[in-house]
Amino acid sequence: MADETFLSDDLLRQLMSVGEVDLLVGILSHRSANTMRRAAHYVEKSLQQNFVRQRVAIINVDGGAVEDSNSDERSDDGEEGNNSYSKGLNSLRTIHRVTAGFNGAPSPGLALRTILSSSDLLRAKACAVVSPATSSTSPEWVANLLRPAFRDSFDFVAPLYSRHKFQGLLARNLLYPMTRALFGRRIRELYSDEWAFSSRLGTFCLNEDMWHEEPVRSRPEAWMGISALTSDFRCCQVYLGEKPPPPDGAGPDLVEVLRQTVGSLFWLLETNQQAWMERKGSEAVPTFGPEHAVTAEPMELNRARMFELFQTGVKELEPILESILSAETLAGLQSIAGLVQNTFRFGSELWVAMLYEFAASYHHSVINRDHLVQALVPLYRGKIYSFIAEYADASAADMEAESENLCLEFEQQKPYLTEKWKAGVEVKS
């Protein structure tokens, strides 16, 4: 059941007017009226064209764009005299719009909790979440996300994007292979701005007493995805299309990104310990559309600074790394840090062992957990430097093959993580 006291009276009044719906789409509108308007337009268009009979509602969750949201509402209502009968495709029903405002900036977790609560109260059968920050969102995206949850009884629908081979590197080198190896399902984009879920999963998550946890507040989608995986909900992936990177400076810096993603992943390992330890290998999940699309056009990247930061990090963080890593792994890192740029390679075996040791140390709280995740930042830069150097001229197929090898490496070394995890604070050897 939704925690009704959590929702404002104004939101409740709006939900009361909406009543029961089949589909709910939440827009996490980062206080930008323009981007929100654009996203709302695509969502509405998608619902009009693809779900003409269904009862649908759009909920815009943000404190900052409320005024624009409401002003947009009436003009597109379909009740206001536009000649919809000449348009052909048009929703038979009113498309409801709800705005949830907050005092102060809402966290993604708070926003998702608002959406889940609304979905629960409205008894939505399926719900999608989209972000106005994604510039390539289209009506098809929304429909593609909703369909598996609404029509095919999937509980969690993760997106698949077409990306350049040097975009989404964190997902490719860390998040995907590690979650795949540990949780046993091949879902590429658990950390995403767009996803969908069933009422079953929504209600399940809503009832979890986790909303005060920082990883849930900052990256609730990953927590939701992992919850689906570990509780045996039906999961799938759906191909959406090209996802261009956000404009320079638009997103958080790397430290914050790793804190939110890797920090969240380590925390999820802890809270789902039993589930991941019992799983062996990995299975594909049903995928709609192409498996994965990588483009490999030449791209200019300034990598010199990355290598420098890696070398400096290994050197300056040695006391911290000593408390996190095994001697063997630290030695391996120090060894490659001593290489010159053109011979530098950060191998998969070392990379995976290092990450597993970080995860185990996070579990054992060998140092402050936030500091631990920050210590990973220069090492990640080194890995990315190496990756770009290795695959500068690689084809998309080669990239995919190598990604698969990395995933297998994570799976092969999983017992090592289990061992470390259970071993207590004996990381130093």
With both helix axes pointing from N to C terminus, report the angle between 220-230 and 108-122 in degrees, rounded to the nearest 10.
Answer: 60
CA dist., res. 325 & res. 331, Å (int): 9
CA dist., res. 186 & res. 124, Å (int): 27
**Stretch binding other proteins (CB under 8 A), from 50-58, 143-151, 172-180, 243-251:** 50-58
**Contact string (CB under 8 A) for other proteins, positions 118-157, x = contact:** ----------------------------------------
The reply to whether 338 sits near other proteins by the rule CB under 8 A is no
Q: Which is nearer to other proteins, 90 or 135 (CB)?
A: 90
**From 17, 34, 335, 341, residue interacting with other proteins (rule: CB under 8 A):** 17
337 contacts 319 by C-beta, under 8 angstroms: no
The reply to whether 53 sits near other proteins by the rule CB under 8 A is yes
Supply the minimum distance, in Å, between the C-beta of residue 165 and other proteins.
Answer: 42
The interface with other proteins within residues 79-108 (CB under 8 A) comprises 79-81, 83-85, 88-90, 92-94, 96
Q: 397: which 2 tokens?
A: 């197929």
**Stretch binding other proteins (CB under 8 A), from 51-59, 216-224, 255-263, 326-334:** 51-59
78 contacts 86 by C-beta, under 8 angstroms: no
CA dist., res. 387 & res. 149, Å (int): 36
Supply the minimum distance, in Å, between the C-beta of residue 96 and other proteins.
Answer: 7
The reply to whether 418 sits near other proteins by the rule CB under 8 A is no
The reply to whether 13 sits near other proteins by the rule CB under 8 A is yes
The reply to whether 19 sits near other proteins by the rule CB under 8 A is yes
The interface with other proteins within residues 277-306 (CB under 8 A) comprises none
CA dist., res. 24 & res. 58, Å (int): 6
Supply the minimum distance, in Å, between the C-beta of residue 345 and other proteins.
Answer: 59
**From 8, 38, 76, 78, residue interacting with other proteins (rule: CB under 8 A):** 78
The reply to whether 70 sits near other proteins by the rule CB under 8 A is no
Supply the minimum distance, in Å, between the C-beta of residue 101 and other proteins.
Answer: 16
**Stretch binding other proteins (CB under 8 A), from 13-21, 143-151, 287-295, 360-368:** 13-21
Q: Which is nearer to other proteins, 15 or 399 (CB)?
A: 15
The reply to whether 55 sits near other proteins by the rule CB under 8 A is yes
Supply the minimum distance, in Å, between the C-beta of residue 97 and other proteins.
Answer: 10
Q: 275: which 2 tokens?
A: 């589930």
361 contacts 324 by C-beta, under 8 angstroms: yes
CA dist., res. 64 & res. 219, Å (int): 20
| Residues of this chain that bind other proteins (CB under 8 A) | 13-14, 16-20, 52-53, 55, 78-81, 83-85, 88-90, 92-94, 96
